[in-house]
């Protein structure tokens, strides 16, 4: 399978020139299981480019399974602008958690209201692809495209927003995706995060803040690089990729972080970059 980073920027897109090396699209990571069969972690603006390449390779009979962490704008704003949504004979399933008072489908329909969005509503049967929603409920495991997927709620500080992390197991390879997480104490004390990340081949983790930004990061619903590293070490992860970069983080600053991370000898860890792609 092939892992591709299509969007690595947290909170808001950053098209400025000083961000172009690491990229300005909001979160989207593709786990391609085969031609026309992809799992996609989050649906930020990077989803548009994932969708374009998939349709270039095969216009129809694609199956996309989107694993949403939560419904904040930076994680869903690519959905209305992903071409696959409008091409018949493609299949898209959006997995994610809702609220007791607000199911997932209701949230996704909200962003397609014509007051907010100019595109046709692809949840209607006569429009575009076959698009369905799978609201995650009590069973922590489900299957998609032959992969076993575990999900769990992650802590977010004092934020009232829920957030979901994922672990994917496919042909003896394991990938975990944990973003927009703020640990109340040591990351290794969070049993849900530890179970999702345990001994994975690749852990993709939120690292919005630098270690010396710990205080300003409090109650912002995000992790520091040190949080991500602590969890990766405790969970015996093979490779850690830090993502969801703060919108104020320039290429120069991320280069400095990358140089620091390369000095760590006990862990393979790197800074996510748009276009980073490799086989697992």
Q: How far is the CB of 178 from Zn ion (least distance, A)?
A: 12
How many CB atoms sit inside 10 A of residue 132's CB? 12
- DSSP H/E element including 110: helix 104-111
- Comparison of 11 and 90: residue with beta carbon closer to Zn ion: 11
Whole-angstrom CA distances from 278 to 31, 133, 176, 266, 268 are 10, 29, 16, 22, 15
- Comparison of 40 and 145: residue with beta carbon closer to Zn ion: 40
Over its C-alpha atoms, the chain yields an Rg (Å, rounded) of 18
Placement of tokens 């603006």 in the chain: 45
Both tokens assigned to 241: 């990729």
Q: How far is the CB of 70 from Zn ion (least distance, A)?
A: 8
Q: How far is the CB of 73 from Zn ion (least distance, A)?
A: 8
- Comparison of 30 and 74: residue with beta carbon closer to Zn ion: 74
Task: Give me the residues that bind Zn ion (CB under 5 A), please.
Answer: 10, 74, 180
Of 212, 165, 216, 209, nearest to 191 (Cα)? 165
Q: How far is the CB of 128 from Zn ion (least distance, A)?
A: 26
Whether residue 180 contacts residue 162, with contact meaning beta carbons closer than 8 Å, is answered with no
Query: Which DSSP category does 61 fall into?
Result: S
- Comparison of 174 and 244: residue with beta carbon closer to Zn ion: 244
Q: How far is the CB of 219 from Zn ion (least distance, A)?
A: 15
């Amino acid at each position: 399978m092939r892992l591709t980073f299509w969007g690595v920027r947290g909170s808001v897109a950053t098209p400025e020139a000083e961000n172009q090396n690491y990229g300005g699209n909001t979160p989207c990571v593709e786990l391609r299981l085969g031609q026309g069969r992809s799992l996609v972690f989050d649906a930020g603006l990077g989803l548009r480019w994932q969708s374009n390449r998939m349709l270039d390779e095969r216009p129809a009979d694609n199956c996309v399974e989107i694993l949403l962490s939560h419904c904040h704008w930076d994680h869903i704003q690519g959905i209305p602008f992903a071409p696959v949504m409008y091409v018949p004979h493609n299949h898209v399933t959006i997995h994610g958690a809702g609220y007791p008072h607000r199911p997932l489908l209701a949230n996704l329909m909200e962003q397609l209201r014509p007051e907010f969005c100019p595109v046709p509503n692809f949840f209607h049967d006569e429009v575009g692809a076959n698009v369905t929603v799978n609201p995650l409920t009590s069973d922590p495991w489900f299957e998609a495209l032959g992969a076993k997927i575990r999900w769990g709620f992650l802590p977010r500080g004092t934020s009232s927003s829920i957030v979901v992390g994922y672990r994917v197991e496919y042909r003896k390879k394991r990938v975990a995706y944990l973003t927009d997480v703020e640990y109340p104490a040591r990351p290794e004390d969070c049993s849900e995060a530890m179970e999702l990340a345990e001994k994975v081949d690749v852990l993709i983790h939120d690292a919005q803040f630098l270690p010396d930004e710990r205080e300003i990061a409090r109650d912002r619903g995000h992790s520091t690089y040190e949080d991500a590293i602590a969890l990766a070490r405790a969970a015996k992860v093979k490779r850690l990729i830090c993502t969801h970069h703060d919108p104020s983080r320039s290429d120069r600053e991320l280069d400095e972080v990358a140089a620091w991370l390369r000095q760590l000898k006990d862990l393979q860890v790197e800074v996510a970059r748009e276009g980073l792609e490799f086989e697992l």
